[in-house]
Amino acid sequence: MPVATIAGARVNYLDSGAAAPAVVFSHGNLMNAEMWAPQLDHLTGYRTIAWDARLQGRTEDDGSQYSYWRSAEDLLGLLEHLGIERATLVGHSQGGFVAQRAALLAPERVSSLVLIDTTYTAWPEEALAQMGQIRDLFTAAGPEAVAPILLPMLLGREDLHPEWEAVWRTQSRERLAGAVNVLMSVDDLSARIGEIAVPTLVIHGEEDQPVPLAAGQALAAALPGTQDLITIPGVGHTPSLTHPDQVNGPLTAFLAHTVAVA
C-alpha cells in the first residue's frame, strides 16, 4: 500500500489511480481499507481510494488518542497529498463520523456523501457501557476473547469472522483498546448537522445492533441534502461487506446521478 505522511502519521491507502472523479472510502472502527474491496472492485469510471485511520490497519502513528475531527483532517490531508480538489466521501460507522466532519471542515472539498450505518449524535449511556467493556476486554484478554462477542454484532456472517479476527491479531491490545476509546469519545453534531447540504445517500441495515436503524433514519431526516434512505432488510451493521450487492446497486445509481463520470 502507498503511504502519505500526514500530521506525523504514515497513512496507508489504496488508490486505483484512475483519471476520474474521486470516491474516498473511510472504514468502520476496528476495520481497515480492505473492508471496501467489494466496492473498489465494483466501481468503474471513478478514482477509488480507501485508507486506514490512526490506530487501525497499516497506518503508523504514535498510538495517542485523537478525535474524529483529527481524523477528518487526516482525510482532507490525504486529498491534498493526492492532488484531489473535490471528492465523494463514503463512510461506514466511524467512517461516517469522519466524512461528516470533513464536510463541515471543508465543504468546498466534498461533492457528495454516502453514509452507511452511522449517526450524527453521541452514544447513549448503555452503548458507552458496552463499549467500555469491549475496550477493557481487549486490554485484559486480547482479540481472542473479544472476537466471539463483537464480530457477530459487527458482521453477523460467520464465514467472515476468522479473517477479521486475524486482522485484529496483527494489532497490539493497547492499539485495539485505543481505537474503541476513540469511538466512545465521539461528539454530538446535532447543532451543526444542518450545515451539511451536499447530496447524500444514507444506507442502513435493518438489523443493525451497534447503530440501530432509528439512528440512520434520524440522520437522513436531519441532513438537508439527503437524496434517499436505503434500508436493507435482515442485514446488520456492515452491509457493504456482508451484503455488497445490496449496497453496490444504490451506490452506483447515486454516483451516476450526482457525480460526472469520466
Look at domain 3-122+188-258 and name its CATH class: alpha beta
Question: Domain residue spans in the chain?
Answer: 3-122+188-258
At CA 63, angle to CA 181 and CA 150, rounded to 5?
Answer: 40
Show the beta-strand stretches assigned E in the chain.
3-6, 9-15, 22-26, 47-51, 87-92, 110-116, 200-205, 226-232
What is the tens place of the pLDDT at every residue in 203-225? 999 999 999 999 999 999 999 99
Q: How confident is the model at residue 261 (pLDDT cuts 50, 70, 90)?
A: very low
CA distance 39 to 95: 15
pTM over 0.95: yes
